[in-house]
Amino acid sequence: MITILYTYRNRDLVRIKRTLHSLSKQSLSNFKVLFLDYGSKKNLAYEVEQLIKEYDFANYEYLFTELQPWNKAKALNHAIKKVDTDYCFIADVDMIFHPKFTSVLEDKIHSNKIAYFQVGFLSKEESVKEIAFEEYKINFKSNEEATGMTLFPLAALHLINGYDEFFHFWGSEDTDIQNRLRNAGFEIEYCNDEVLLLHQWHKNYRSRETKALNPELQLSRTVEMNHLHLQTNLINKRTQVNESGWGMIISENEFIELKKETPRVITSKKVQIDYFLFNELPMLKGKIISVVFIEDPMISEFKYKVKKIMGKKVPEFYTLKEINDRVLLHIISFYHQVPYNYSISPDLKSITFSIKK
């Protein structure tokens, strides 16, 4: 038996139905599905849960991470700790499976081997068609550098403490885990004899990135930073990561507790932000702190503007985008394993951050 793992947040139901429908047509029923919802909006989460109930091989779990950045590594680690089969396959809601795919997975099972699969990418027009797998026209194929769709022995993942949870947002976690397993002595097999997985088209995630503050949580240069971390792990020949623990997710009670906390205001003065990040936050122990960052009213004052033009000494300020990047970087680097909520107001005039440590 193999557990197929999905991680998900705020994607359309149509592609989920396609991927699960393709699994329902497998020639070999040697699998079950664990579907991890990493904090979708509640109305959409309900619809997804109802859809998944239609498939008796699938189970759904909602994680209370709506007010945290996307972290595929942490979601997968949480799932890996729940898996009760000897092998798991990392899937994606964009995948359409060939009817014999799980039969091929069965043939690839080996306690010392990791197998990953080539993917055929569909065009936007082709993705919406409801046709047999063999009838789809592939736009292009992935190469050996695309490492996401992978079959793992569960023991191998536990040996290295799962995926590296430093990797937030998008990029590098799949390649990193293969590098570390190779360092640990496991064989890596790239399966490209025939295309057994098709990828439904969607907009490139990086196209949503903005230089200005955005209600959708973003961190400037995160892809580049993830790549640097990937290279650091590779150079140091790391195998194990997440030394302080892995797969730890904020609970519903912790999520509610943090939301109830009344935040105190911190304005955008650089000295106030820096003091909070480098002194107050590290010293916090055994309690909750909740703050809301806003632009300092002084920035709009005529007197301040005149002094600044005249070159007189005035306080220095961060923009809210700069505050966002600094706080998120601190969370990713030091605090992602403790309960926290982080959100940007729809009008982009404030950032609320609550943490329990």
CATH code of 58's domain: 3.90.550.10
C-alpha pair distances (Å), 112 with each of 4, 7, 148, 185, 332: 19, 25, 18, 8, 32
Give tens-digit pLDDT for 241-274: 999 999 999 999 999 999 999 999 999 999 999 9
Among 211, 236, 261, where does a domain finish?
Answer: 236
Answer with the one of 210, 236, 262 that is the final residue of a domain. Answer: 236
Query: So what's the pLDDT on residue 148?
Result: 92
Last residue of a domain, one of 204, 236, 268: 236
Same domain? For 343 and 271 the reply is: yes
Residue 300 has pLDDT above 80, yes or no: no
Residues 140 and 225 in one domain: yes
What per-residue confidence (pLDDT) applies to 74? Answer: 98
Three-class secondary structure of residue 109 per DSSP:
coil
CA distance linking residue 82 with residue 42, whole number of Å: 23
| Residue 225 falls inside a structural domain | yes
The larger pLDDT score, comparing residue 42 to residue 206, is at 42
Residues 102 and 60 in one domain: yes
Task: For residues 346 and 348, give the distance between their C-alpha atoms in angstroms, rounded to a whole number.
Answer: 5
Whether 171 has a pLDDT exceeding 90, the answer reads no
For 48-91, the pLDDT digits (tens) are: 999 999 999 999 999 999 999 999 999 999 999 999 999 999 99
**Amino acid sitting at position 217:** L
What pLDDT does residue 210 have? 80
Phi first, then psi: what are they for 122, rounded to 5°? -95, 150
Domain containing residue 283: CATH number: 3.30.110
Does residue 72 contact residue 163 with C-beta atoms inside 8 Å? yes
Enclosing domain of residue 302: 252-356
Residue 178, in any domain of the structure: yes
Radius of gyration of the chain (CA): 23
* Long-range CB pairs of 54-60, under 8 A, 24+ apart, other chains included: 54/20, 55/20, 55/23, 55/24, 57/23, 57/24, 57/29, 57/31, 57/32, 57/33, 58/20, 58/23, 58/32, 58/33, 58/34, 59/32, 59/33, 59/34, 59/35, 60/35
Residue 284 maps to a domain: yes
Residue 96 and residue 232 in one domain:
yes
- Say if residue 227 is in the same domain as residue 265: no
If asked whether residues 268 and 227 sit together in one domain, one would say no
Model confidence over 317-329: pLDDT tens digits? Answer: 999 999 999 999 9
Question: How far is 269 from 276, CA to CA, in rounded Å?
Answer: 11
Same-domain pairing of 135 and 11: yes
Q: What is the dihedral of CA 306, 309, 311, 316, to 10 degrees?
A: 80
Distance (Å, whole) CA 74 – CA 134: 35
pLDDT grade for 306, boundaries at 50, 70 and 90: low
Can you tell me the distance from the alpha carbon of 357 to that of 355, in angstroms, rounded to the nearest whole number?
6
pLDDT of residue 192 exceeding 70, the answer is: yes
Please check whether residues 14 and 125 belong to one and the same domain. yes
The per-residue pLDDT for 207 is 63
Specify the number of domains making up the chain: 2
Q: What is the mean pLDDT of the chain?
A: 95
Instruction: Say if residue 36 is in the same domain as residue 165.
Output: yes
Domain presence at residue 246: no
Q: What is the DSSP letter of 159?
A: H
Question: Is 182's pLDDT higher than 90?
Answer: yes
Is residue 243 domain-resident? Answer: no
Whether 244 maps to a domain, the answer reads no
CA distance linking residue 320 with residue 83, whole number of Å: 41
Mean pLDDT of 142-171: 95
Indicate whether 171 and 34 sit together in one domain: yes
The mean pLDDT of 229-250, rounded to a whole number, is 97
Q: With 0.85 as the threshold, say if the pTM is over it.
A: yes
